[in-house]
Amino acid sequence: MRTLAIACALMLTACSSGAGYGRSGGLATYDDLRAAQAACEARGGALRLKRNGDAKYLDDYACETK
């Protein structure tokens, strides 16, 4: 039971941290965008700003597959 609780806590932490990038509290810095683009390209996609998205925020970008 304890192991399950620890695993759930780690998963929630990973989700809230922006999947390994996003060290700037959600702001889309150059380094965060570069890391997100590299992760997206590794999955065969391209990082694009969402429709009506604000370019200042990392959450407003999406990885679109080609």
Residues 3-50: pLDDT tens digits?
444 544 444 444 444 444 456 788 999 999 999 999 999 999 999 999
Residue 2's pLDDT band, with cuts at 50, 70 and 90, is low
Element (H, E) at 42: helix 30-42
Domain count, the chain: 1
Give dist(CA 66, CA 55) in Å, integer: 21
Residues 6+ apart with CB under 8 A from 46: 37, 40, 63, 64, 66
Give dist(CA 22, CA 15) in Å, integer: 11
Domain that residue 6 falls in = 2-65
